[in-house]
Amino acid sequence: MAEELNVIGNGAPAKPVEKKSFWATILIFLSLIGPGLITGNFGNDAGGITTYSVCGADFGLGMIWMVLPVTVILLLYQEMSGRLGAVTGKGLSDLIRENFGIRIAFYLMIGKFLAGIANTTAEFGGIAASMELFGVNKYISVPLMAILVWLLTIKANYRKLEKIFFIGIAFFACYIVAGLLSPIDWHEVAKQALTPSFRMDSQYLMLLVALIGTTIAPWMVFYHQSAVVEKGISIAEFRYFRWELPFVGISVGVVIFFIIVTCSPLYSQGIRIETAQQAAMALVPLAGVYAKDLFAIGLLIASLGAAMILPISTAFSVCEIFGWESGVNKKFMEAPQFYGMFTIQIILGAAIILIPGIPLIQVMILSQTINGLLLPFVLVIMLILINKKKLMGEYANGPIVNFVAVAATIAITASVVILIYSSVFGS
Amino acid sequence: MIQDSKYFLYLSELLDKKVIDSQTNKTIGRIKDVLIAPKEIYPEITSLFISVGILGRKFTVAVDDLEPFALPVNKLYLKPDRKPMPFQPSAPNNFLLKDMFLDKQVLDTGGCKVVRVNDLHLLKENNKIWVVHMDIGFRGIARRLGWLSWLDPLVEWIFTSKLPDKFVSWKFVQAIPSSGERKSDKLMLRSAYQCFSEMNPADMAEILTALDRYERVSTFKLMDPQTAAEALVEIDLKMQKELMDLIDGEKRREIVTRMPSDKAADLVSRLSRRRQEEILKQIPQPKSGEIRSLLSHPEQTAGALMTTDYVSLNKDTTAEQAMAKIREISVANKPVYLYYIYVIDNDQTLQGVVNMRRLFAAQPASKLSEIMNTKLVKVKVNTHEAKIIKTYIKYNFVALPVVDNHNILKGVILFKDLADKVMMPLINRV
């Protein structure tokens, strides 16, 4: 970074930031980009991609208008978790312990740890499914990928990991190409994207709810804040940091959009699918074998990335609560609990997927259910924290953001409650 | 009446317990926090902070006004003729113990670590309660989760010993200054200044590294310039730069002035051009000149490695004068390395070197030119790092003089600086 920055403490009034040259500003911006893009894009993990595929296959373009609101919700929470991290310099679990006491923090962490294992398992499920599309047996692909994920995280520091993730994000362009290969009526897409439609049948509503529920997972909120802190972004830089949000919105929105669009021809063909793997296979007669391959690559990268980020996020949280050393910049022996926690999740996640005959869909539903149980608590806690004047000073939420955030939290909570109810008691 | 005597209890055992008015037998409220008075080393708990419901009224009850109680604490009774007082949040000496310490990070100045407070250990004697330890162990967490009743027997059954307590005496507890809230400052930080200056700079550096960004800055600001300079040298350059960016110009100047010039040059080279100029202009000569010239050397050469904080004296100086000079430097506590005296001629060319042993053994009136060692090993300003390392390995010196093409002394490379440069990448790789 070529320019110095005026950084101020929590609650202190901001010094006016001096005018900087255009290139200096761009440079600062580029140095701050990362946490949001990575969290947002890898938030479209195996579970997300499955949900979007099913959306396209079951309702064609009928749900494409949801891409915009769903992206806005994601950005809303990213902005808040980033602001919390930048102003306090602390991770979310740290803040929970300091402001809500050990009891709430501890039980939340148990939940988060279970969710972490379930989610990691689902990601390895995604890895297995995508590699099977290339004809690789899961007993080969999953252990290999688990070792790859483990080694990368142990060896790399935050900057290197960030680069690896960026390369991963570039691979999401696969979905765009797959979409372009599919026989799509683009006029129809444009029309549907801009006109919200609504159907009162239960299946449509269920999928709508699933779509909202999959947008934001508890680990995303925690990881984003930890990444902002680990990157050392301060509130004075946060101004630039916010510029990342439009890019996050576009990249995440485009991926969701193209997955739904790519799968929409299946609807007119009357093909029903349950998994992303089935979606990819069903695309072969319609869009060619390359569409299938591209789809599989996208799924593989998304699952791999999430299989790395998820355990990191959980390890961060647990270590913060107990006051153990944490951070991907540390060596294994400097932060044994951190890497131990990370390793346990990878091993368990990979091992569960290797159980012969394990139903992948059930694993995915389970992981989304645990996420759903946890999410309302996390979002409410976040809202309370970000409204604390003592903590946030002048950076606490304003009334407009609060209104939108409360509305979104209610919508998400309602969604996950419906989702869990139906998945537990049957639709 | 319950027998009262001297015993220990935990803050977590008091919290959320009911306080009851013994006349009416009605519940006044639950204990939510305790107020402490910072008197001696161990603060005394003066009163209990009680609230009715979540948003209800808030009271304080003086510890003196309570009926004696014993463990385990269940309910506390107010003495018959006493009344709870309304809580005054703005009162100057209202320090809320739980709010300020429980679950927060503090400095353990004894162990030189940043730790998290899991519980607080209190001593009750007659009608007084003192805060004596902080609990930083897992046992504290288990206690607060209400797990001890089953965890203790389990651990004892497996390991045949109890889950150990991990206490830190209160006298080593130092609140971490945060720029947001200043209240804890009054309580603790009168001694912070002193406590930091007593610490080993390397420990201090480790603590700074462990803190979050804002705590780091506010802690750093509390150190006196000398301590700050010593600690700063020990932490990594990126953090050094961040800290220097965040403190005000006057303090920055003082700190850089107190750093050895080679370390100062390393730091200054990381700052923006404008800030470099700003600092260099503020620092008095000859220090700023030294830093400037160090900055001008390419990396990995002797010029970039060397320091200019050495002692050089004219060859006609007597041993007595030289010793006086060394005493003067030592008294002023200047950041100068006193391994050798470099002996120079009138034209500044390097003639020889005198080590301390030799100097003290010499007759007071003998000149440096008579006692100096002229078999000099020296390197040029543009000599490469690798060559310097070889030279060191061959001769086993602690310091190596650096000269320019005209044999004029420019600086000294210290073995420890070279070791830092060479060893750090190795350590990072392990």
Q: Which residue of A has its CA nearest to B210?
A: A325
Predicted TM-score (pTM) of the model is 0.76
Neighboring chain B residues of A4 at a CB cutoff of 8 Å: 245, 271-272, 274-275
DSSP per residue, B74-136? -EEEE-TT--PEEP-TT-TT-EEHHHHHTTSEEEETTTTEEEE--EEEEEEETTEEEEEEEE-
Q: Which residues of A touch B (CB under 8 A)?
A: 2-12, 88-90, 97-98, 101-103, 105-106, 229, 232, 234, 322-323, 331, 390-391, 393
Tell which phi-psi region holds residue B307, choosing left (phi > 0), alpha (psi between -120 and 50) or beta: beta
- The pLDDT > 90 percentage for chain B reads 0
Distance of CA A91 to the CA centre of its chain: 17
**B306 Cβ contact partners less than 8 Å away, ≥ 6 residues apart:** B262, B294, B381, B402, B410, B411, B412, B413
Neighboring chain A residues of B179 at a CB cutoff of 8 Å: 8-12
Strand arrangement of the beta sheet that strand B379-380 belongs to = B379-380, B399-403, B409-414
Neighboring chain B residues of A390 at a CB cutoff of 8 Å: 180-181
Q: Which residue of B has its CA nearest to A329?
A: B428
Distance of CA A216 to the CA centre of its chain: 6
Task: List the domain boundaries for chain B.
Answer: 197-296, 304-429
Q: Are strands B340-344 and B350-355 parallel, antiparallel or unpaired?
A: antiparallel
What is residue B4's predicted lDDT score, i.e. its pLDDT? Answer: 54
Q: SS3 for B37?
A: strand
The amino acid present at A176, given as its one-letter code, is I
Do residues B344 and B409 make contact, with C-beta atoms less than 8 angstroms apart?
A: yes
What is residue A20's predicted lDDT score, i.e. its pLDDT? Answer: 61
All structural domains of chain A: 20-263+273-425 (1.20.1740.10)
Rounded (10°) CA dihedral B136, B142, B145, B150: -170
**What distance in Å separates the CA atoms of residue A45 and residue A48, rounded to the nearest whole number?**
5
Do residues B213 and B246 make contact, with C-beta atoms less than 8 angstroms apart?
A: no
Tens of pLDDT, residue by residue over B158-178, are 888 888 888 888 888 877 766
Q: Which residue has the tokens 């102003």?
A: A87
The amino acid present at B338, given as its one-letter code, is L
Question: Which CA distances in Å does A41 have to A210, A331, B84, B184?
Answer: 18, 27, 56, 42
Low-confidence stretches of chain A (pLDDT beneath 50): 1-18, 427
Instruction: Answer yes or no: is pLDDT of B194 > 50.
Output: yes
Which of A270, A259, A289 lies closest to A184 in space, CA to CA? A259
CATH number for region B197-296: 1.25.60.10
Helix axes B287-295, B261-270, angle to 10 degrees: 60
Same fold, B197-296 and B304-429: no
Question: Which CA distances in Å does B113 have to A167, B172, B230, B240, B247?
Answer: 39, 10, 18, 20, 24
What rounded mean pLDDT belongs to chain B?
80
DSSP B162: P
- The alpha carbon of residue A329 is apart from the nearest alpha carbon of chain B, in Å, by 11
Q: Which residue of B has its CA nearest to A323?
A: B116
Q: How many Cα atoms occupy the beta-carbon half-sphere of B81 within 13 Å?
A: 0
Instruction: For domain B304-429, give the fold.
Output: CBS-domain (3.10.580)
Neighboring chain A residues of B242 at a CB cutoff of 8 Å: 7, 232
Cβ burial, residue A136 (10 Å; 0-12/13-18/19+): middle
What is residue B219's predicted lDDT score, i.e. its pLDDT? Answer: 80
Do residues B368 and B353 make contact, with C-beta atoms less than 8 angstroms apart?
A: no
Are the Cβ atoms of A101 and B275 closer than 8 angstroms?
no
Q: Which residue has the tokens 């002229």?
A: B374
Tens of pLDDT, residue by residue over B18-32, are 888 888 888 888 888
- The alpha carbon of residue A6 is apart from the nearest alpha carbon of chain B, in Å, by 7
CA angle A101, A107, A112 (to 5 degrees): 120
What is residue A348's predicted lDDT score, i.e. its pLDDT? Answer: 92
Neighboring chain A residues of B245 at a CB cutoff of 8 Å: 4-7
Instruction: Answer yes or no: is pLDDT of B366 > 50.
Output: yes
The β-bridge partners of B36 are: B45, B95
**B152 Cβ contact partners less than 8 Å away, ≥ 6 residues apart:** B162, B163
Q: SS3 for B327?
A: helix
Find the mean pLDDT for residues B264-274. Answer: 78
What is residue A382's predicted lDDT score, i.e. its pLDDT? Answer: 92
Do residues A361 and A275 make contact, with C-beta atoms less than 8 angstroms apart?
A: yes
Q: SS3 for B254?
A: helix
**B148 Cβ contact partners less than 8 Å away, ≥ 6 residues apart:** B139, B142
Sign of CA dihedral A63, A66, A71, A76: negative
User: What are the two backbone dihedrals, phi and then psi, of residue B20, each rounded to the nearest 5 degrees?
Assistant: -120, 135
Neighboring chain A residues of B180 at a CB cutoff of 8 Å: 9-12, 390-391, 393
Q: Where are the beta strands (DSSP E) in B137-274?
A: 167-169, 173-175
Nearest to A323 among B116, B214, B430 (CB): B116
Do residues A234 and A228 make contact, with C-beta atoms less than 8 angstroms apart?
A: no
Model confidence at B52, pLDDT cuts 50, 70, 90, reads confident
Find the mean pLDDT for residues B103-110. Answer: 81
Q: Which of A10, A90, A95, A103 has the highest number of chain B CBs within 10 A, making it the mutation to test binding with B?
A: A10
**What distance in Å separates the CA atoms of residue A362 and residue A275, rounded to the nearest whole number?**
11
Distance of CA B168 to the CA centre of its chain: 17
Nearest to B103 among A6, A97, A391 (CB): A97
Of B2-11, B163-172, B209-218, B231-240, the one with minimum mean pLDDT is B2-11
